Amino acid sequence: PPAAEADQAAPAEDAPSSSEGGRDCAICLTEPSSMLMRPCNHLIACGRCAQRLVRQPCPMCRRHVRSVERVFF
C-alpha cells in the first residue's frame, strides 16, 4: 500500500557532521571544520584546506578570504 511506503523514509545519514559534533570540512569532507574564514566568519574548512583558501573566494559567500583563524571547541 502507498501509505506504508511513506512511513519508510530514508534515514538522514548523509548529514555532514563530525565526531566532535561540528560540521565536516566543506572541501575535503573528511576532517572536522576548525578554521574560521576572515572577514566573513564562515567555519567551513579544516586546517589543511583553509590554508589553500587564503587570498581566494570563500566557498560559502564568495567573499575574498584575507586570513584564517583556528577555532577550538
Q: Taking all residues of the chain, what is their mean pLDDT, rounded to a whole number?
A: 82
- Give the residue-averaged pLDDT of 59-69: 97
Residue 16 pLDDT > 50: no
Mean of the pLDDT values across residues 21-43? 93
Question: Of 59, 13, 30, 29, whose CA–CA distance to 68 is shortest?
Answer: 59
